[in-house]
Structures are given as structure tokens and as C-alpha cells.
């Protein structure tokens, strides 16, 4: 099993969430986060003055899937989160040793 963490633009959350749901990936955790990538933030102008916003609002989606579903989920996220501009986000794939459903104590793939 793998945990996929995707950091994306907040405006793309509904598109990604709906596409994952349509493909049968219902369970996920979504968090509002702030961060910056290679570009280091953006320069804004307010009342004639420039200032740098170096931590931009993003959304983190976390989803645990079977090993064989990893590429499918990555493709869905990339297709639905992409704008073609800097700041579209990143995807991290992390090994998961064990999953336990609290209610039933089911383990691993049965608990996803």
C-alpha cells in the first residue's frame, strides 16, 4: 500500500475530488496548508508598494491506495490539478506498512 500526498491549488480541489470519486477512490483526508516551491512565492503590489508573499495557500490531499492503483491516482490528480503555471503542486508517494480500521479492526487493504 502507498500513501499519496498531493499539494495542489485550492481552486482545483473540487475537480480532483470529483475525479477521484468517479474513479472509485472515495476516502481521503483534505487539509488547508501553506507553502512555497521553487519560485519562492509571489510578488504583490499594494498601494504602490511591493511585498513578497512567500507562503501561499494550498490544499493537501492524502489518500491510501493499493500498490496497483498508485499510477491511476497520480494520473487523475495530475490531469485535474494542472493549470500549466508555476504553483500547480507536488505529489509524494510514501510506503504504508499497515492500516487498521478502528471500528472493525480490519487490516491493510480491507481497511482502505
Task: Write out pLDDT tens, residues 53-87.
Answer: 778 899 999 999 999 999 999 999 999 999 999 88
What domains are defined for the chain?
2-111 (3.30.70.120)
CB within 8 Å of 94: residues ≥ 6 apart: 2, 3, 4, 5
All three cell numbers of 107, joined, read: 487490516
Task: Write out pLDDT tens, residues 29-39.
Answer: 999 999 888 77
Contact between 102 and 92 (Cβ < 8 Å): no
Residue 47 has what pLDDT? 82
Amino acid at each position: 500500500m502507498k500513501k499519496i500526498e498531493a499539494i495542489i491549488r485550492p481552486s482545483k480541489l473540487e475537480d480532483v475530488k470529483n475525479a477521484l470519486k468517479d474513479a472509485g477512490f472515495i476516502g481521503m483526508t483534505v487539509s488547508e496548508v501553506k507553502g512555497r516551491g521553487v519560485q519562492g512565492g509571489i510578488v504583490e503590489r499594494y498601494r504602490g508598494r511591493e511585498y513578497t508573499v512567500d507562503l501561499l495557500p494550498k490544499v493537501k490531499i492524502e489518500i491510501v491506495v493499493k500498490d496497483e492503483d498508485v499510477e491511476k491516482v497520480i494520473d487523475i490528480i495530475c490531469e485535474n490539478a494542472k493549470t500549466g503555471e508555476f504553483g500547480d503542486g507536488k505529489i509524494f508517494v510514501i510506503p504504508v506498512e499497515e492500516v487498521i480500521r478502528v471500528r472493525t479492526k480490519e487490516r491493510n487493504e480491507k481497511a482502505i
